[in-house]
Amino acid sequence: MEEEPQSTGNRENKQDQNGQDAAKPTGSMPPSEGSTIPQKRPAEGEPDITGMSKSALKRLRKQQKWEAGKEERKQKRKESRINRKVRKREEKAALIAQGIDPDANKQQKPPSVSVPISLVFDCDFEQYMRDKELISLGSQITRSYSENKNAKYRTHIYVSNWNGKLAQRFHEILDDKHKNWKGIDFVDGDFVACAEEAREKMKDEGNHMIEALQHDKNPWVRDEKDPLPLPDPEPEPRPEYSDIVYLSSDSPYTLDRLEPNTSYIIGGLVDKNREKGLCYKRARERGIRTARLPIGQYMVMQSRMVLATNHVVEIMLKWLEYENWGDAFLSVIPKRKGGQLREQASEAEQAEGAEIKELEEESEEIEDPDVEEPSSEKNTPEEAAP
């Protein structure tokens, strides 16, 4: 039997393994041109990762892992709810066995009162936000809804521009739970369209004109210092939008009190203050009044005064309850921001100043041991002579 001669292909493979004759892509040549190895194409349904950076690929893998565990998390939440109900039933049965009425000490919460105020989230800033920031905005909207639902005085809430990534997230990942929410409307149109819709809803007889809203409107006075000076003059507000106020920390006007039958626009923007003046400029272009919350007038902050959207909502809800900005800020602003009422800070500064002055006076009374005390008697000539 003849031996089969060794193929040249095997010899070439050996040379390739030794790194002698293998064709390798150079550093200056793209892999698709410098290599005969075909590019791997993504399988059907798989995302194309060609050209992705390491950080982007890492985020993608993390997202895929999170989505893969969706059903497991859903099952755990269901089990947790069941266990909670079982535990409550057992606790109730134990109280009844002891002859105690389980509902005796329950405090009945008074029903929330609807007021003619609308809060509108302007969610037309997706192009300025990263995916993580969009997720954060979704959480803030959820918290805002919850706070408004449980508040003593309840406003009408609208979410505008509900047609982008945020809406897709609520639909696909959060299983459309927002469709069961009451007292909040998700609208495809912009914030002006929401305000026009809210205008009709605030006329409903079900709204109550509470005491905090029963005041004459004060004239708006421009602040002495402009937070964001712009070269072009500010246009006059359009009369048809007189019941719309866009809240912005860059506004030269400070909000004194909330006005009834008014829609307050809150910019749905989470960007760590990268984009300066976006909300303010947008409102100016549309001929809409702007205002900022009076944080600087009432609070002394140890960190920047930029608040999350849900904190803005909570502050306005607390103002409706307290009719006092200081109390509203103090009850909402996180302690980590080091917020303190301005009057309390002034008292603390005065007390600190008095303490420093007292210490200075005490230090003056302490004798320095290295300094010789001067004699009250004059030296005689004999003592003065050497």
* Active site positions, annotated: 271
Sheet holding 113-122, edge to edge: 184-186, 153-159, 113-122, 262-267, 244-247, 289-291
Closest CA to 188 of 208, 218, 215, 158: 158
Round the CA-based radius of gyration of the chain to a whole number and report it: 34
Handedness of CA 60, 63, 69, 70 (dihedral sign): negative
Distance from C-alpha of 358 to C-alpha of 365, rounded to nearest angstrom = 11
C-alpha distances in Å from residue 227, one per residue of 59, 124, 258, 316:
37, 23, 21, 22
Write the CA distances from 278 to 226, 248, 259, 283, 373, integer angstroms. 16, 9, 24, 9, 70
Please report which residue ranges of the chain form alpha helices under DSSP H: 8-18, 31-34, 54-68, 70-97, 131-150, 165-172, 191-201, 278-286, 295-298, 309-322, 325-332, 342-365, 381-384
CA torsion sign for 270, 271, 274, 275 is: negative
User: How far is the first Cα of the chain from the last one, in angstroms, to the nearest whole number?
Assistant: 134
CB 270 within 8 A of CB 136: yes
Per-residue tokens: 192: 């002006």
